[in-house]
Structure 1
Amino acid sequence: MAHTLSLPRNARPSFPASFPVLLALLFAALSAGLLLDALLAQVDGERGIAPVAASSDIEVNGVEVDVRGKSAEEARENGWREAQRKAWEKIKGPKLADSQLESLVSAIVIEQERISPGRYIATLGVIFDRTRASAYLGGDQAQQSSAPMLLLPVTYTGGTATVYEMRNPWQRAWAEYQPGRSPINYVRPTGSGGDSLLLTSGQIQRRSRTWWRNILDQFGAADVLVPVAQLDYRYPGGPVAGRFTARYGPDSRVLGSFELEAASPDALPAMLNTAVTRFDAIFRKALADGKLTPDPTLNLGSGEIDPAVARLIEIGRAMRARENALLERADEIAPAPVAAPTATPDAPQVLNRHTVQFATPNAAAFDATLGQVRGIGGVRSASISSTAIGGTSVMQVTYAGSLDQLAAALRGAGFTVNQGSTALAISR
C-alpha cells in the first residue's frame, strides 16, 4: 500500500539559515569565472603590431622624382641622385656636391617606381647615416631630448574610439614610424596582451594620478602623448577626411591640431604617415617651448597600486609571458640567419618592399613564421598587413635586394616558396 506525505497548505520548505550566504558565494564564484574568461578573451587574439626597431639614422620618406636618361639604368641613377638632393634639402642640410651626398647615404628605400627605357618615375625614401651626416647638420645633434613618453594613438571612426582593442591603420602608422633625428623619446607599446585592457580610450579621460602612475611605471615612461585621429569616410571608396589633435599629459592638454584628406581608402596609409610626421613636429615644438616636461603631480601619492590596475597588470604579464614563450620556441627552430649585405658609403644599400603571403593555420605558426622572416639576413623590417588565422596572412617585407634574392633567402631558411611577378607565397 502506497503512503503519501501531505503538508499543510501554508507550509513552506525550510532552508538552512546559511543558504543565502552560500547562494551569494556561488553567484560570486560564477561571476568571477565568467569575468576572467571575458578578460582573457579580450586580451587574446591578434591585436598587437610590434614597432619597428628605432634607428638613429635619418630617414626621409615620400621623395618623388620624375627624370629621364639615355637608358633605363641611367634614368634610375639620375632619379636616385635627385632624390638624395631633395631629401637633403628637406632636412635643411648645407649645399653639397653629389659625390659628398652619396657618401652620407646608407640606403635608398623604393616605395614605388616605374621604369621605361628612358624615364624613371618613383617615390623613394632616403636614409642618411647619422654619424656621417651630423658633421654637416651640426647644431641639430645638441638639441635636448625629452623624457620617455608613452604613446597612445587614439582613433575615432564610425562613432567608436579605439586604441589597441583591434589593429587599425593609425596604430600601424605609429608602429612603423622611424623617429630618426626626433628628440622625442617615444615609448610605443605593441598593443598585444594586457595592453588592450590597460590602454584604452577610457583611460585617456581619467584624471587619477594613481592610475596613470601605475600604468606609466609598467612601460618605463614619465608622461603620456596622445595623438588623436578622427577619420570620416565620406562614402565607400570615396575620400577620407582626417581631423588630428595632439594631446599631452594626464589632463589631456591640447598642443595643436590640423586636418588632412585622402582621396580614397587606398591613399589613407600615406595620409596617416604624413600625419605622424606633423605630430612629431608639434611635439618637438612643445619640447622646445618647455611644454613637454613631465607632470610633477604624477610623482605624488602613497605609491600603492590600485587593486583593479594590479589585476589588469597581472593578466597582461601572463599574456606577455605566453607570447615570449612562443617566440622562444620559434627561435629554437629558426635556421641561422644569412649574412646581410654590407652597405658602403659609395654604394647605398637599396631597400625594396615586397609582399609575402604565408600560411597561418594557428597563432603559433603565425608567430614562428614572422619571427623567422625577420631573422633572415637583409630583412630590414617585416610588418603584417593582413591576418587570417586558419588561412593565409600577408606581410610587407623591407629587404635589401630584389624579389628573386628574397625568394632565394627564404628557400635557404627552409621555406617552400612560390614566386609570382610581384609577390611571394611561402609555407613549411
Structure 2
Amino acid sequence: MLRRPWVLAAFVALLCFAIGGAVYAQMEAGERGILPLDSSGTLEVDGIHVDVGAKDAQSARLGGWRIAQREGFKMLWAKSHGLPASQAPSVSDSTLDDMVSSIIVRREQIGPNRYIADLGVLFDRARAGQLLGVEGITKRSQPMILIPIMVTAGTETSLELRNPWQRAWAEFRTSQSAIDYVRLSGLGVDPLLVNAAQAARPGRTWWRNILDMYGASDILIAEVMVHRAYPGGPAKARFIGRHGPDGEIVGGFDLTAANSAELAAMMNEGVRRMDQLYLAAYQSGALTRDPSLNLPPPPPPPPEEEEQQAQHAPTRYQIGLLAPNAVTYNSALAHLRAVPGVDKVEQVNIALGDTSYFFITYRGDLSTLRSILTSRGWGADVAGSQLKMYVPRPAPATPTPAPQQPAPAATPPGATNENKVTASATEAQPRGTAE
C-alpha cells in the first residue's frame, strides 16, 4: 500500500466517507424539538411506592394502582391544606376513579402474584379542585422564558439538539408551580434565536426582541454540567440556576447517577429542585425584572408643550386610524401613548386594512394634538370632535427638465461662410504685422 500512493489515498477517502456517514446518521438520529407537556388541567403527585401481593399479576397491578390513587389524594390534600396526610378525608375508589386522569409508571416489576412499582398520579383539576381545595394558584410570577443548557464533554447544548435536560423540562408539569415558565419546543427558528450562545450575549435590544416574540417578561437560565467517569458509568452533575440577561446566579446543587440508566431520573429530580430554587427566589423578591430590558423612555417634550398641556383639563376624544397592517397599528398606538398630555389610550376595535378606533384622555385640544402628530410624521385631519390618523402618501417626484443646447449664433444678412473664415484668420494674426 505504501508503494502505491493511489491505493493509500483511496483508503483514506473511503475511511473519511465512512466517518462522515456515521456522524451524519448520528445527527439525523438526534433531531431537534421536544414539545412541552400541557399540564394546565391536571394536578400531579409523584413518588408513590407500592408493593402489593395478589392471586395473579393483573389483580396485584390493579391493587397497586388503587393504593396509589388513595395515597396520591391524601398527599395532595395535605399539601393544599398544610396539614398531615393522616387527617385527609377518606374517598371511595369509585370517586377517585372519576378524578384520576392517568397513572404514571416510573418503574415497575410484575411477578406472578406480586407487583412492585414507583408510580405517579394525575388528577383532573376541574373534578378534583373543589374537593382538594386547589382550584388554582392565585399568585404567579410574570412569564419567564426558560433556556435549558446542558454542558457535557466541553460542549454547551440548549435547543440545538435533543438532550436529557431539555426533555426533563419538557415533561415537567408546571401547573402547580408559582413560576410561569415559557418553555420552547426547539422546533422552527427556536434553535437560531434561543441557544446556548444567546444566554451569554449582553445586548439588551436582542433580548427585548426575543421576549416580545415569545410573550415573556424575564429570563431564566437553567444550566447543568455533567461529568461522567467513563461511558455508561457513574455521572455527577452540577445544577446552577441563573436569572436575567446577565445570568446572575440564583443558586445551585449537586446530584449523582450510578449509571446512564439513572441519568433521566437524575434530570427529573434536578428540574424539581430547580423549580423549588426559583420559587424560593421569587418569594423572597429576588426575581425582579432588569430595568435595562424596558424600552428607553421617550425624549422630554418641549417646555412650550408642557405649559400648554397644564392649562387644559383632561378630555376624552375619539381617534380613527387607517392602518393597513399590524406594524402601522402598533406604531400609532405607541406614538399616541408617548404624546405629552395623553393620560390614557383605550383600544375600541382593531380593523387592519380599514379604520380602527381609539379613545384617548388628553389634556389639550385636537388642533394641538394634530400639530404634534404631524410633526412626528403622521397625517392627521380634524373633523368636529374626532381626529383621523393615517400614513401620508409620499409626494410624486417632479421630473427634472433636460438641459437645453445653446442656439447657434445668427449669421448677419449678406454674410457668407467665407467671410467668417477670413475674419477668424485675421483675428488670429499677431498684432503689428502687415499683410
Match among 271, 295, 318 for residue 276 of structure 1? 271
Taking structure 2 as the reference length, what is the TM-score of the superposition?
0.55
Q: Distance in 1 between matches of 2:191 and 2:137?
A: 37
1:298 corresponds in structure 2 to: 293
Q: What secondary structure is seen at the aligned counterpart in 2 of 1:170?
A: helix
Q: In 2, Cα distance between the equivalents of 1:103 and 1:208?
A: 51
CA positional deviation for 1:265? 0.8
Q: Which residue matches 2:145? A: 150
Please tell me the residue identity of whatever aligns with 1:83. A
> 1:210–1:301: 8 Å Cα contact kept in structure 2?
no
Structure 2 counterpart of 1:63, from 34, 38, 48:
48
Q: Deviations over 1:38-65 (max 9, x none)?
A: xxxx9xx932222223332012334322
Instruction: State the SS of the aligned residue for 1:153.
Output: strand
Mark the runs of 5 or more structure 2 residues left unpaired by the alignment: 1-26, 80-84, 299-435
2:72 maps to 1:77: no
Mapping of residues 199-348 of structure 1, within 5 Å: 199-301=194-296
Q: Equivalent residues in 2 for 1:13-412 (5 A)? A: 46-91=31-76, 92-93=78-79, 95-99=88-92, 101-138=96-133, 141-301=136-296
1-structure distance, mates of 2:199, 2:74: 38
Residue segments in structure 1 that go unaligned for 5+ positions in a row: 1-41, 304-428
Equivalent position SS for 2:41: coil
Change in Cα spacing, 1:291 to 1:85, as seen in structure 2 (3 Å) is farther
Tell me, yes or no, if the aligned pair for 1:72 and 1:117 is still in contact at 8 Å.
yes
> How high is the sequence identity, in percent, across the aligned residues?
47
Distance change (3 Å), C-alpha of 1:102 and 1:96: farther
8 A contact 1:156–1:229 mirrored in 2: yes
Partner Cα separation in structure 1 for residue 67 and residue 116 of structure 2: 11
User: Which is further off, 145-154 or 94-103?
Assistant: 94-103
Q: For residues 282-318 of structure 1, what are the alpha-carbon distances to aligned partners after superposition, in whole Å with 9 as ceiling and x for unaligned?
A: 2222222222333332113389xxxxxxxxxxxxxxx
Deviation at 1:177, TM superposition (A): 1.9
CA apart distance, 1:98: 4.5
2: CA distance, partners of 1:70 / 1:143:
47
Partners of 1:139 and 1:79 in 2: how far apart? 25
- AA aligned to 2:228 is Y
| Higher alpha-carbon Rg | 2
Residues 46 and 192 in structure 1, CA contact (< 8 A), matched pair in contact too: no
Deviations 1:368-388 (A, max 9, x none): xxxxxxxxxxxxxxxxxxxxx
Secondary structure of 2:179's match? coil
Distance 1:243 1:140 in 2: 35
TM-score, normalised relative to structure 1: 0.56
- Does the CA contact (< 8 Å) of 2:148 and 2:223 recur in 1? yes
Q: Which residue of 2 aligns with 1:343?
A: none
State the alpha-carbon separation in 1 of the partners of residues 259 and 228 from structure 2.
9
Deviates more, 1:261-270 or 1:138-147: 138-147
Shift of 1:239: 0.7
| Residues 221 and 283 of structure 1, relative CA distance in 2, 3 Å threshold | same
1:237-268 CA distance string (max 9 Å, x none):
21111110111111212222111111111111
Q: Secondary structure at the match of 1:85?
A: helix
For 2:126 and 2:134, how far apart are their aligned partners in 1?
A: 13
The answer (yes or no) to whether the contact 1:81–1:98 under 8 Å persists in 2 is no
Q: Distance in 2 between matches of 1:98 and 1:138?
A: 15
Change over 3 Å in CA distance of 1:118–1:98 after alignment to 2 = farther
AA aligned opposite 1:78: G
Residues 234 and 196 of structure 1, relative CA distance in 2, 3 Å threshold: same
- For 1:245 and 1:260, the matched residues in 2 are separated by 11
Contact 1:155-1:229 within 8 A present in 2 as well: yes
Rounded to whole Å, the distance in 1 between the matches of 2:113 and 2:245 is 56
Equivalent residue of 1:106, what SS? strand
Q: How far apart are residue 68 of structure 1 and its match?
A: 1.4
Give the secondary-structure state (helix, strand or coil) at the position aligned to 1:141. coil
Q: CA deviation at 1:142?
A: 4.5
Q: Contact (CA 8 Å) 2:137, 2:178: kept in 1 or not?
A: no
Structure 1: how far apart are the matches of 2:49 and 2:121? 11
- Paired letter, 1:232: H
Q: What is the alpha-carbon distance in structure 2 between the residues aligned to residue 193 and residue 139 of structure 1? A: 36
1:157-209 per-residue CA deviation (whole Å, 9 max, x = no partner) reads 11111112222111111122221312222111122333222222222222222
The one-letter amino acid paired with 1:69 is A
**1:113/1:137 Cα in 2 relative to 1: closer, same or farther (>3 Å)?**
same
One-letter amino acid of the structure 2 residue matched with residue 144 of structure 1: K
Q: Compared with structure 1, are the counterparts of its residues 98 and 137 closer, same or farther at alpha carbon in structure 2 (3 Å cutoff)?
A: closer
Q: SS at 1:276's partner residue?
A: helix
Structure 2 CA distance for partners of 1:291 and 1:134, relative to 1, 3 Å: farther
**Alignment root-mean-square deviation, CA:** 2.5
SS of 2:133 mapped into structure 1: helix
Q: SS state of the match for residue 172, structure 1?
A: helix
Change (3 A) 1:200 1:243: same
